[in-house]
Amino acid sequence: MAFTLRRRRHQTRIELTPLLDVIFLLLTFFIYSQVMVVRAEVLPVKLAQVSGGESAPIPSMFAITIDVQGQVYLNRKPLTEAQLGAQLEKAMNTDEPPRVYLAMEAGESHVDRGPIMWRLMNMLDAAGVEDFNIVGSPQADTE
Comparing CA positions, the residue from 37, 34, 36 lying closest to residue 26 is: 34
CATH number of 61-135: 3.30.420.270
- Residue 23 or 103, more confident: 23
How do 72-74 and 61-66 pair as beta strands? antiparallel
pLDDT of residue 38: 64
- Residue 29 or 141, more confident: 29
On the question of pLDDT at 31 being above 60, the answer is yes
> What pairs with residue 77 in β-bridges?
74
Comparing CA positions, the residue from 120, 124, 87, 90 lying closest to residue 104 is: 120
Q: Spell out the domain ranges in the chain.
A: 61-135
On the question of pLDDT at 26 being above 80, the answer is yes
Query: How many Cα atoms within 13 Å fall on the side-chain side of residue 119?
Result: 13
- List, for residues 46-100, the tens digit of each pLDDT value: 777 777 767 767 778 888 888 888 888 888 888 888 888 888 888 888 888 888 8
pLDDT of residue 92: 83
pLDDT of residue 23: 94
**What is the rounded CA–CA span in Å between residue 123 and residue 22?**
58
**What is the rounded CA–CA span in Å between residue 14 and residue 19?**
10
